[in-house]
Chains A and B, each alone.
Chain A
């Protein structure tokens, strides 16, 4: 406990160097921009900026890329409130109450509550990270190949269950991702699989190409389709003096902020698109426990404060499985895993001990980053909102240009650009047909790990499948997976008796 605080102090020493402060600021600003701009989300944003970090130290690189991730959570709320357009998926729920508040002329307090709530949540969640990550890393040493295998199976099922509207479609996407993940050198025998003689495919499908394609190009193409005047011209920018919430606003929001922090932190630790689930869960909780639920849907500040705090808190705690187990539970952390590997850092139980300056520096930078974002988002909201006035015909081609140049710089490979464009087309079709990209991307990243863990387990046990159920942790995850698979069945039973079952339905309904 005390030791962690000591490390955190050294972490602040690292994060407060001029260089790292600068990269933290850059990350926060870019993150906010990405959150504001509907054409591009944190996944494609982080992937695009990985090449820009090649010349940085691993610590500076992750400080900047992590800043983009949580910065996007701040920025996403801006467009939700002002325009009823979520800048990224985690802000969908903020549209409901936030836009209503804006319609009543209370956009300022809504924005301020978001920023303050996010700051409080981020700060508390970081403390959680400080105290929980080291003991969890110690415990994670108990995870051998069978445990990793069962954990990842559990992760896939949970992720597919909570992503999108249809479990079948999500599972289909996960399987496509697993199949693409088999391309390249066989991890156990070293034989080339499905490369069709292409040298470029030997190390597998470049997952940055898939990420930028699905989430960058695909999103841009989907935006091209929308009517031209969709975004332009209807931006109502609040003035600075209208920003500050009243004392009553603050009293109303502090409870939701703290509850949202707790919910978000818990959700970030389990597999799935943490910020999205966190915002929905927090909104549901606030509506349920509110003394005047009739205010919800008409601009209740609780419905802004809770979810916005939850998504920020989830964002920070999602770093725990990434750093401690080396297993990303959601696409943005999967991209960060890629970035860590590029910089020669392989996250896992030993990472905190091996790269203390990176781990503690990044955590301290998150605290500083949250502070920067608070300052950035309060007085400069009008500035960021004005960015939405850039005409789409200028913005979207620019995004494509960034995607192509960014992709080339990852491996200096033209082949990757073609792959990215191919996946851009696929991403567009998936959007049209209502398939989610997240299970595909995550399966692509985790698939090879899943395969390795499975085959390692069987090699250790000389082919005996009992190794997965004989070990208690592994057994626990498999049982949990089974429960999750049976969950829809339970829900049907519950529904027929007339109770519950609202959560998933409203999730789907509010999407997009």
Chain B
């Protein structure tokens, strides 16, 4: 009798300290921390996704901007949040870059992957009147004149810079990388003829490609663009290379798997919602769904790759 009472007490105590009851998750709003300012591409995407996901989740999804420290401020806060599923963060490419550049309190390992939503391929643009007519001509020239072709990027150590470095390794050439403060300024400098090419991610520069002022000399995606079916990928042209920038959702380490599953299912439904699909099309982003496991693998391999690239860059 006494034993039974003790056991009941134990169960009650255990129930009381159990962190989350997945069965009734969520009981309140879920918030997504965006470690960047309001109005940026990441902010817009997840605001749109949050708006359509609310009805599938049963509770509203709120987006909170915590900019600062190139993302470090927001990620540090998200890492320290209760792992109860009510606090998520947008996990995007810089999460696997920043820890190699500066001392951060976190790496991607401090988070649980939930879902990947977007993957924008990297590409090189150049002016339509550039002397190189094909990727082969471009790379041949680069091989003969190492360090002479200037390639602009949106910021040192940023996603498209590292993509350019990785492409350099894959193609066996050496460019002169010029960092700009954002994708817009680098495209402007290209149009003005101050650099030979730029490394960008769509939608940057796309309108100038459409207008015929710029063209895509190298496309780093697995498949061709829907918008430009005539532009071949570099893979088709014999350089085994594909790389892009991804944007997904992550939760603090220790968030229960069943809660993650619930979140994942709701956000996946939100992703497939026609309203969100249309929003994404308007924003010219490339939707790319990955489940928790595949997304986690992607983050892991990118983290390793960026680590190597940055080590090489600092030498």
Contacts and interface: CB of A to CB of B under 8 A. Distances in A.
A411 B66 contact: yes
B7 interface: no
Interface string A135-148: 00000011111000
A348 B65 CA distance: 26
A459 B152 CA distance: 11
B179 A187 contact: yes
A323 B313 CA distance: 35
Interface in B149-201: 150, 155-158, 176-182, 184-185, 187-189, 191-195
Interface stretch (B32-40, B241-249, B266-274): B32-40
Contacts of A462: 147, 176
B73 A460 contact: no
Given A188-B156, A344-B41, A452 B102 contact: no
Interface in A320-360: 326, 342-344, 346, 348-350, 353-354
B54 interface: no
Nearest to B148: A462
Interface size class of B (residues with CB under 8 A): 35 or more
A33 B182 CA distance: 36
A188 B179 contact: yes
Nearest to B41: A344
A202 interface: yes
A191 B179 contact: no
A103 interface: no
Contact of B69 (A191, A200, A348, A449): A200
A413 B68 contact: yes
A412 B66 CA distance: 7
B185 A203 contact: no
A350 B191 contact: yes
Interface string A199-231: 111110010000000000000000000000000
A197 interface: yes
B287 interface: no
B156 A186 contact: yes
A456 interface: yes
A450 to B, nearest CB: 12
A202 B194 contact: no
Given A199-B69, A202-B73, A346-B184, A143 B157 contact: no
A478 interface: no
A190 interface: yes
B103 interface: yes
Contacts of B105: 199
A91 B192 CA distance: 40
A185 B188 contact: no
A449 B181 contact: yes
A202 B102 contact: yes
A460 B178 contact: yes
A199 B75 CA distance: 10
B70 interface: yes
A199 B76 contact: yes
B70 A203 contact: yes
Contacts of B37: 342, 411
Nearest to B64: A412
A9 B187 CA distance: 29
B72 interface: yes
A186 B314 CA distance: 13
Nearest to B195: A460
Contacts of A246: none
A279 to B, nearest CB: 34
Contacts of A350: 184, 187-188, 191
Given A185-B102, A187-B155, A459-B176, 10 more contacts: A54-B38, A185-B70, A185-B157, A199-B76, A200-B68, A349-B192, A412-B65, A448-B181, A456-B178, A462-B176
> Which 3 A-B residue pairings sit nearest by Cβ, starting from the closest?
A190-B157, A202-B69, A144-B194
30 contacts: A185-B101, A185-B102, A187-B156, A187-B179, A188-B156, A190-B101, A190-B155, A190-B156, A190-B157, A199-B105, A200-B68, A200-B69, A202-B70, A202-B72, A202-B102, A342-B37, A343-B39, A344-B39, A344-B41, A344-B44, A346-B184, A348-B185, A350-B191, A412-B64, A412-B66, A448-B181, A456-B179, A456-B180, A459-B176, A462-B176
